[in-house]
């Protein structure tokens, strides 16, 4: 078997954390390809190295003295090197970084140095080959990830390696300049490496033991998810559940490679498995609950709307013309409701309303603000009767008024609209009825 292991910033924040990572890698001979992030926070008051690099480069870009800030970054890495008792010097690397900062190499270059330097230390610590991501991960002229070229070059390069470290988060443009993925992009690099080596498993190590059924800021010690499908994950991630960068799913999904989310600080935990499909029944009817606040609904009414061809398209055109995307569009015989992000809509609401009147000629339009959307997701719902009824019952018992409910034909998820002020109460009620009641 081949395993690709990616470690997040909190897993590599100090020499002590590095040692935990080293023990995890050496505990399994199949963990031969490692993708490290930049050092994260050592405690709640600390600063991530990537943020330190951004701040340092901002001074350089403004032609101000940045030596003290760069020295602070250098000290962070030296503490890790000394703690690991390595005979490694990064002096030459920091001279190059200082030179490129003075020559204004760009914020992408600056941010990428966190992973780059951590990759050098990791390779030295493990005795693995170091491969600069800028040599094997590519973007096109438009700054879009070039998956075909990357996979061809990276596959060839890694085929010659017994074991390798590839820093996360960045690659190179056609002119050789460094280009980064969005924040959290080391997850993407891990997925790209997994595809290139045709890994059997992509292990993503972080500071939590996998996905939780609900937000721990709302539910005290929520239960963990054992197995989740890519489709379920997509639904939850879309509604705000974050453990893994969304774009990290696609390269491994294409190859049928499962992802295992693990905890560096609790390596004995099984974590969460993310798979294409599974015959394993979930422990509960639902897999997870996620949601967001800050929506508003635009309710359009018109008699005989359902028999008027193109009515829905004309309504949505009013939103499109103002550059506003919609979240959900539940409809009835004579009504159609469009849910949108309130902060995007509020400054353009009258323009949109006027456009709806002009394009669709509705009988009336009503707008309601300060709404939240909650997604209840689970492959187990399809084979369980009365799921929606139990949700309604739980919410009614907790005096939560349901503004909207929408279930897709796949029966994989149910979207519920409630007032912002009822958001936390609603999530607790749903969690209680599906999880607590079954414990």
For 375-433, write each residue's pLDDT tens digit.
999 988 887 888 888 999 999 999 999 998 887 666 788 999 999 999 999 999 999 99
Question: What CATH number should be reported for the domain whose range is 3-207?
Answer: 3.40.1160.10
Q: What's the pLDDT at 283?
A: 86
**Gap between the Cα atoms of 254 and 34, Å rounded:** 21
Query: Residue 323 in contact with residue 316, Cβ under 8 Å?
Result: no
Residues of the chain with CATH 3.40.1160.10: 3-207
82-87: list long-range contacts, CB under 8 Å, 24+ apart: 82/15, 83/14, 83/15, 83/16, 83/18, 83/19, 84/15, 84/18, 84/19, 84/121, 84/125, 86/121, 86/124, 86/125
Q: What's the pLDDT at 245?
A: 66
Residues of the chain with CATH 3.30.2130.10: 288-438
Query: Residue 426 in contact with residue 416, Cβ under 8 Å?
Result: yes
**Gap between the Cα atoms of 315 and 57, Å rounded:** 47
Question: In this structure, what token pair is assigned to residue 299?
Answer: 């309710």
Cα maximum dimension of the chain: 79
Q: What's the pLDDT at 410?
A: 66
Question: In this structure, what token pair is assigned to residue 167?
Answer: 């820093």
Which residues of the chain are modeled with pLDDT < 70?
A: 242-243, 245-246, 408-410, 439
Query: Residue 261 in contact with residue 271, Cβ under 8 Å?
Result: yes
Question: Can you give the pTM of this predicted structure?
Answer: 0.85
Q: What's the pLDDT at 388?
A: 85
Q: What's the pLDDT at 315?
A: 96
Which residues, including other chains, have CB under 8 Å from residue 91's CB and lie 6 or more apart?
Answer: none
Closest alpha carbon to 130 in 143, 140, 120, 116: 120
Question: Would you give the DSSP letter of residue 225?
Answer: P
Phi, psi of 60 (to 5 degrees): -60, -40
Q: What's the pLDDT at 75?
A: 97
Task: Give burial (CB, 10 Å; 0-12/13-18/19+) of 229.
Answer: buried
- CATH class of the 288-438 domain in this structure: alpha beta
């Amino acid at each position: 078997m081949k395993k690709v292991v990616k470690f997040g910033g909190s897993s590599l924040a100090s020499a002590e954390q590095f040692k935990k990572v080293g023990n995890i890698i050496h505990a399994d001979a199949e963990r031969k390809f490692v993708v490290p992030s930049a050092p994260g926070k050592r405690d709640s008051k600390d600063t991530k190295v990537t943020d330190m690099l951004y701040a340092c480069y901002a001074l350089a870009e403004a032609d101000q003295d940045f030596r003290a800030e760069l020295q602070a970054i250098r000290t962070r890495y030296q503490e890790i090197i000394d703690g690991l008792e390595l005979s490694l010097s990064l002096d030459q690397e920091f001279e190059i970084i200082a030179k490129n900062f003075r020559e204004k190499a760009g914020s992408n270059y600056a941010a990428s140095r966190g992973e780059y330097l951590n990759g050098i230390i990791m390779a030295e610590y493990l005795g693995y080959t170091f491969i600069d991501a800028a040599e094997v991960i590519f973007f096109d002229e438009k700054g879009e990830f070039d998956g075909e070229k990357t996979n061809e070059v990276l596959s060839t390069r890694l085929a010659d390696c017994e074991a390798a470290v590839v820093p996360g988060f960045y690659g190179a443009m056609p002119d050789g300049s460094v280009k980064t993925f969005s924040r959290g992009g080391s997850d993407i690099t891990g997925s790209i490496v997994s595809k290139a080596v045709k890994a059997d498993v992509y292990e993503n190590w972080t500071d939590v033991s996998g996905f939780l059924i609900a937000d721990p800021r709302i539910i005290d010690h929520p239960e963990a998810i054992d197995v989740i499908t890519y489709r379920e994950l997509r639904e939850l991630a879309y509604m705000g559940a974050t453990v893994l960068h969304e774009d990290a799913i696609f390269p491994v999904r294409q190859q049928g490679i499962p992802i295992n989310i693990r905890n560096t600080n609790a390596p004995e935990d099984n974590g969460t498995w993310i798979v294409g499909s599974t015959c394993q029944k979930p422990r509960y009817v639902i897999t997870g609950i996620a949601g967001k606040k800050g929506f508003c609904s635009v309710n359009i009414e018109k008699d005989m709307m359902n028999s008027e061809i193109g009515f829905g398209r004309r309504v949505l055109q009013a939103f499109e013309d103002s550059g506003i995307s919609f979240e959900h569009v539940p409809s009835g015989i004579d009504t159609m409701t469009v849910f949108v992000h309130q902060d995007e809509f509020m400054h353009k609401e009258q323009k949109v309303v006027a456009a709806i009147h002009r394009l669709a000629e509705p009988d009336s339009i009503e707008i309601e603000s300060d709404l939240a959307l909650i997604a209840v997701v689970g492959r187990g719902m399809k084979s369980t009767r009365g799921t929606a009824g139990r949700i309604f019952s739980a919410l009614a018992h907790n005096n939560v008024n349901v503004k909207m409910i929408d279930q897709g034909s796949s029966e994989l998820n149910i979207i519920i609209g409630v007032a912002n002020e009822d958001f936390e109460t609603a999530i607790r009620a749903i969690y209680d009825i599906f999880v607590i009641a079954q414990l």
